[in-house]
Structure 1
């Protein structure tokens, strides 16, 4: 496990410059075939240390849930934002992820003085750093990663799986697993699948499938 104190290097440099409100920002769901891309922004108190925090992908589900609760209870402010699959298709996934992150920052109750962002820049007039593998390098970004990951997983298990049980979303969380691909081929895509992500899987049949789907749903 990464030493938590190693994850405070960026924050300590900013605190030394008397910058108090540092927001960590990250998103999840970028590579999914189904559903929203989810982003979180969080400002933690100066000097706060969250034991056991790490990149959300390296933690167990139980540990993520535990840390989620600690982050929510301890944060000065946080906000979670979702951008739906239709917007992903319209903008492309990179721009949709950036939009989700911007909306997460804009939703904070306190305006941050500086942003630490996982491998991205955000279209806001706020001082910021894009940090490669930031969720494994900064406690603030790791905390945002956990908030976003737990939120999206809960949507998959508690809302979307009930809405579209034929895709077994609770098992694969919308990623392009063998099971998910087989279920898409068996049932066709849902309105929440990302059309632009399914071209390789469905090929020339995609447009016809989509046309039939939306004729049935009336969307």
Structure 2
């Protein structure tokens, strides 16, 4: 079980993690939370209807990681618009869509990262070196979302845009300062892949 998720009775998943792995995942999840930002202020009125129509930002984030986590919904970034009018229309649609969806997207990503932190904090260690993390089907879905976000974030920092970029990074020499981040990217990808497999019917 070490290093990958396995299916457990009841539809959940389990993985053996050592102390270092637990520390890395928790640290990355905390960093992701800090990057996404806090939720609504504690003094915000608990009016579900007001929250539903609360407006978010209309401009794309300046941070490349946040741009990867919250991409524009309209238009193909690889294709240049056919005319200035088309470009303006694409920007207007993207801004409108972002204004009404980004707050919810941020809340969902925040919830996924918090679920990862909580499940790791509740992990009963087998010994000093780690333990076996057991997730319910619902917790597995939170983890899947968080693992995806963590890989997107690391991929953005490494400037991975396609498989060719990833292949080049995999062959980096050990002394390259990006190597630990690449190894984390690969390891999280393996965890994500095996967790997907456990959730398949």
Q: TM-score range by the shorter chain?
A: under 0.3
Structure showing the higher strand proportion among its residues: 1
TM-score (norm. length: structure 1): 0.25
Q: Larger Rg: 1 or 2?
A: 2
- Give TM-score scaled by structure 2 length: 0.27
